[in-house]
Each structure stands twice: as C-alpha cells, then as structure tokens.
C-alpha cells in the first residue's frame, strides 16, 4: 500500500451472541439465557453467562477499569491477547463502546479483524488467546467491571497490525 493510499476501513457490526461466538461469550440480559426468579421473586437471576477461565495456577480477580473515550476515526495498529485465561468486560457506565477482535492463533492479518458496537448493557468475555484491542470507550470516561486472571506466567502478548485498519462509526 502506498503512503498516499487510504487505510482500509474496518466495518462495525452490531454485537450479538451469534456474531461474537468465535471470540467468546456475550454477557447480557437475554431471554435466551437461562434465568429464574430468586429472593422470594424480587430478583431475576440470569445464570452462568460466561465461561470464566483462570488458566493453570491462576485465580480469578475482579477489577474496575476506567477507560478514556477514544476519538474516531481511530487507526487500529495493535492487538493484544491473554493466552492463559479468559478476560471479561462488563460496562458499568451504561454507554456504548467498540470491540475489535480476531480469532486465536498466530498474529492476525489486517483483513482478519472484526469490529462490534456494544450497547451499554452488553459485556463480553474474550476466550483465552483471542486477539483484541484494548478498551474502546466512546462518548465519555467509562467504567468497566473486569474479571480476569492473576497468577504466574506471561499472560499478555501484543502484535502490530499492518497495514493499520481505520475504525469509524457506521453511517
């Protein structure tokens, strides 16, 4: 690609359980999810929404990540993955955000990336080894409940995306 050629745009899809399945699980209140009343009927429990995997000798930890909003269009130049364990993000601020992913395995080519627009009530659980972009908050500073691994071993790899992909909101 020449220096004057435009960067290829990355289409943004609506986030759904089916579309996200190759990368992990959607965490959301959904009629298809197993659910039942608890606490004398005052609460509905949406049960076992993600396979949280701490990996060998790891333990699950709970954190809050405070993400700064990203300005679009944004050049997607790198991805990361956590080869030993899953990593779940649940938005706490009720704002939409973007998710950029690629299947596990060797570092992905630029054409293998997928982008999803997540609603403010949809979380994601990245399966172990799934390549993903760090948090892509929109609109304002946003908090996310994060469930991931603490333990021995290297659990974060990064790769460069060449040529970069341009991420912008769909028209």
CATH number of the domain bearing residue 26: 2.60.120.480
Residue 54: predicted pLDDT: 96
pTM comes to: 0.91
Which residue in 101, 88, 91 sits closest to 146, CA to CA? 88
Host domain of residue 81:
9-167
Number of domains in the chain: 1
2 lies in a domain?
A: no
pLDDT tens digits for range 39-70 = 999 999 999 999 999 999 999 999 999 999 99
């Amino acid at each position: 690609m020449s220096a004057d050629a435009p960067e290829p745009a990355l289409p943004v899809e609506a986030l759904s359980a089916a579309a996200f399945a190759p990368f992990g699980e959607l965490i959301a209140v959904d009629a298809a999810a197993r659910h039942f009343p608890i606490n004398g009927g005052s609460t509905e429990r949406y049960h076992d929404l993600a396979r949280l995997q701490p990996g060998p000798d790891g333990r699950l930890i709970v954190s809050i990540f405070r993400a700064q909003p990203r300005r679009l269009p944004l050049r997607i130049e790198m991805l990361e993955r956590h080869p030993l364990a899953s990593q779940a993000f649940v938005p706490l601020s009720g704002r939409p955000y973007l998710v950029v992913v690629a299947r596990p395995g060797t570092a992905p080519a630029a054409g293998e990336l997928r982008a999803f627009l997540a609603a403010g009530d949809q979380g994601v659980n990245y399966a172990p080894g799934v390549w993903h972009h760090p948090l892509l908050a929109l609109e304002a500073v946003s908090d996310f409940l994060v469930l991931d691994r603490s333990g021995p071993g290297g659990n974060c790899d990064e790769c460069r995306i060449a040529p970069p992909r341009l991420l912008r909101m769909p028209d």
